[in-house]
Structure 1
Amino acid sequence: MRLDKYICDNTSLTRSLATKAIKSGRIKVNGIKPKSGALKILPDSDQVVFDGHLIEAQPSTRYYMMNKPQGYVCANSDGEHPLVFDLMNKEINISRLHTVGRLDKDTTGLLLITDDGQWSHQITSPNHHQAKTYRAWLAEPLIEDAELKIEAGIVLKDDIKPTLPATMQRVSDTEVLLTISEGRYHQVKRMFAALGNRVIRLHRESIGQVTLDPLLAPRNYRMLTLDEVQSLSKIQE
């Protein structure tokens, strides 16, 4: 691997900044200052040091879960609102990360973040029917037959095709656990609107077999375990 590519992949330096660091003598490879970023290195055995600090190879792909707080948007740029990526400023190459699907600005809970596009697609593709569970708090008491209507599929406003069958557990008349296997625009809110109600708070608790870590406070995140990553790699047809 080229030295400059290794530096860019494993630090926040761009290619031009890596080149400047090399030329100014801030980079050492096995104790020797290289002359060019074109130098070939072996990441598994060569030691690359920047300003006296070892540059360690980062995982080729990264997988995180975040407990998303209210008020943050799932985007890489936004001129008006804070970004979920603002909460990850300790990570390098944040621009390469993306959220797996999106949560609305006012929705909280489990958010997956990765730089693995294929893995992300397996989770979000409508063909894979990955189950997602939300806890919703409602403005009004539920109608008596809400469970039956949700299990049968609901026709949303401005949408001809009904939703896929979903399941709902009634915690109280104004609090429910809803599990859906689609990802339509504002789907949960629109489903309850079709039932004559309104969602006043929404929190995602799980995606597939991955549940939000109860030890993860809002605004915090952690790496997914290998088991969690692999469980979401199993396509649900």
Structure 2
Amino acid sequence: MQLADALYSQGFGTRRYCRALIESGRVALHGRGPAPHTVREPGQEVDEEGLVLRVEGQDWPFQRKAYLMLHKPAGTECSQRPRAHPSIYSLLPAPLRQRPVRGGTPGVQAAGRLDQDTTGLLLLSDDGQFLHRMSSPRHHVPKRYRVWTRHPVDTRQTDALRAGVVLDDDPGPVAAAACEALAERVLDLTLTQGKYHQVKRMLAAVGNRVERLHRVQIGALALPDDLAPGQWRWLDAEQLRLAGTAALP
């Protein structure tokens, strides 16, 4: 792969702009091999394996496909065109928002959505197959939530959530894959369907109300304790495997 193509594929701008970055001496290479060194030839061949681009002083590991996690903070929308709150995409660096995607919207996209007041683990990628697998109800990827409720939770409610409740626009009952009361007003709830406002509607169906909602796990991948609200990081191979593993609490 030529250096200009590698830079373009990572979202650093148009092909013309990437060539200009290289020719002006603002791109260096490091990773495997020699120490970081500036390259001014856009057509130089580069090895993708272990490649790290240093663009205007900032290191960027080459990723053929982007897979990342974000700790979504409250008061943000999972939309490219937010209506009332900042977009989660504003929390990401420009290259991730600009990665070229053939036949689709540029940049990484969220695998499903969380409401503006919901916090916690969110996965993003520019891999369409991965996004579909993680968000489609047909694949039944479990998602675990911590739920704080307005009223005390009793066994009648937890039993009903596990057995299945009827929502106003669904013909059949919708059941939690797992449900456990952690405190008087705190639930651990695992779902596999991913319906619109599902947690809030299920709690309403058993006579309670969600006061706060936080997603703690997708598949067998838990939100790291050291990832603060608003922060993101790349998924490594093991984390990517865990995200697609159907592990229940």
Structure 2 residue identity aligned to 1:87: L
What's the counterpart of residue 60 of structure 1?
64
> 8 Å contact 1:97–1:115 — kept in the other structure?
yes
- Matched residue, 1:126: 137
| 2:89 matched residue in structure 1 | 85
Structure 2 portions without partners, runs of 5+:
29-36, 99-106
Larger Rg: 1
CA distance in structure 2 between the aligned counterparts of 1:13 and 1:115, rounded to whole angstroms:
16
Q: How many residue pairs were aligned?
A: 228
Cα shift at 1:52? 7.8
CA RMSD of superposed structures (Å): 3.0
Question: What is the CA–CA distance in structure 2 between the aligned matches of 1:85 and 1:74, rounded to whole Å?
Answer: 8
In 2, the alpha carbon distance for the partners of 1:176 and 1:235 equals 20
- 2:220 is the alignment partner of 1:209: yes
| Equivalence map 1:1-237=2 (5 Å) | 1=1, 4-18=4-18, 25-26=23-24, 39=43, 41-44=44-47, 58-89=62-93, 92-95=95-98, 96-234=107-245
Deviations 1:162-219 (A, max 9, x none): 1144321101221110011110000000000111111010000101100000111111
1:122 Cα deviation (Å)?
Answer: 1.6
Q: Deviations over 1:74-117 (max 9, x none)?
A: 1223253211121112x514141011111110000111111222
Deviates most, 50-59 or 184-193: 50-59
The answer to whether the 8 A contact 1:141-1:174 is kept is yes
| TM-score normalised to structure 1 length | 0.82
Alpha carbons of 1:20 and 1:202: their partners in 2 closer, same or farther (altered >3 Å)?
same
Are the counterparts in 2 of residues 11 and 55 from structure 1 also a CA contact under 8 Å?
Answer: no
Cα gap change, 1:234 to 1:26, in 2 (>3 Å):
same
The whole-number CA distance in structure 2 between the counterparts of 1:153 and 1:20 is 59
Structure 1's unaligned 5+ residue stretches are none
Compute the displacement of 1:12 (Å): 1.8
Report the CA distance shift for 1:134/1:81 in structure 2 as closer, same or farther (over 3 A).
same
Distance 1:220 1:124 in 2: 21
